[in-house]
Amino acid sequence: MTTQAYLITGGTTPDGVRNDVLLDAGEVLAVGADATAQAVERSAEHVDATGRIVLPGLVDLHTHLREPGREDAETVETGTRAAAMGGFTSVHAMANSTPVADTAGVVEQVWQLGREAGWCDVHPVGAVTVGLAGEKLAELGAMAASRAQVRMFSDDGICVWDPVLMRRALEYVKSFDGFIAQHAQEPRLTDGAQMNESELSSVLGLPGWPAVAEESIIARDVLLADHVGSRLHVCHVSTAGSVEIIRWAKSRGIQVTAEVTPHHLLLTEELVRSYDPVFKVNPPLRREADVMALREGLADGTIDTVGTDHAPHPAEAKQCEWSVAAMGMTGLETALPVIQQSMVDTGLLDWAGVARVMSMTPAIIAGLTDQGLVSAEGVLQSSVPANITVYDPRETRVVDPEQHTTKSRNSPYRGMTLPGRVTDVFLHGHRVVADACLATPRRASS
């Protein structure tokens, strides 16, 4: 494949230094003065990033691409286009498709669709149990040995509630350095729940979803992970109590990592007063105190990553009464602006911190070998894959889901003013987003 060299000029790398960055042959060849010197001999195309942040490509451990089976909501093609527009060069596609991604055949199908689309790398997530039914383990070893090389397993949307089955899953994946990503929700405590359990849920007459339903499963699972010496990842942490349990587990050296969604860092249960189902999500929007605890947990490293939990739905699943509406929100195209508003503009994270929680750490958790990483200090390095996101934090715009690339329109940020915009994205050195518009996909060889 013939590649074009690019010189990204005038941008600021995550360490806060203004640097030129040279990309060629799918790698970051040089950063700083060396980049400028080598660009001429390589006939590099210049990309003006003055006033912008040059980040390593974003990695999402929690995306719903819906295909196969729910192409009315999203496809791998449309979902990865949205991912690219949001600055993501790698996404992990959750297993709750139809059929469920619980066999080598299904995960390989999703993996191949991602390669054919060419907008970002797609890593399928395998189901923990057959059909997400929570009764017996899925083909974990076969999925790990497939071309998709699955290492992350989750029944996301449904909790692996049986402690014996969860223990067996943790033991099994340990043999090939896999990990279980748990949807922490005790089903008996959330039967019929519609929103966060609080004074507000009583006022609104909606069945409550108690924080302890999440916290009790996390507490159980960190103890199981410690017992078998395996890796646990906690999906979409949403309560202050969950943050404290994870902080305690990490202090004991337990192999637990955790993610938080952008919407749980910005939105609160107060929005449910509108009864607009766009704000119905699992886990539910929580109290302001929970939002503040989640922000602090992400800032101090208790929470490791930001996972979008991008959950597209067709219009009829959201434009209905609250009690029957589907749970979930889109999030790929607004993730970085929400993180800027909730974490950077509030002084809780700098851009090196953003690179840590949205690129470096999720890539390390997933064991990706094709993701360009920054150092611990946030310094963009040479001789790494050229997965790069250029972001302009100075722009502001009113969110209009009708303009989004995703197939669905269930964004909770409609009408809100958010900062920042992704302007350019390079996937293995190929420019898939140029000047805030989709360019051309990178077609991988079979």
264 is in an annotated binding site: no
123 is in an annotated binding site: no
- Non-local (6+) Cβ contacts of 32 within 8 A are 19, 20
Where b means 16+ CB within 10 Å and e means fewer, 221-259 reads bbebbbebebbbbbbbbbbbbbbebbeebbeeebbbbbb
233 is in an annotated binding site: no
19 is in an annotated binding site: no
Give the pair of three-digit tokens for residue 425: 């994205």
66 is in an annotated binding site: yes
430 is in an annotated binding site: no
Query: Angle between the 240-251 and 211-228 helix axes, to the nearest 10 degrees?
Result: 10
Cα dihedral across residues 406, 408, 409, 411: positive or negative: negative
- Catalytic site residue 309? yes
Options 309, 345, 350, 435, the catalytic residue? 309
310 is in an annotated binding site: no
Phi, psi of 431 (to 5 degrees): -85, 100
Binding residues for Zn(2+): 62, 64, 156, 183, 236, 309
Active site residues: 309
Binding residues: 62, 64-66, 96, 156, 183, 236, 282, 309, 313
Binding residues for substrate: 64-66, 96, 282, 313
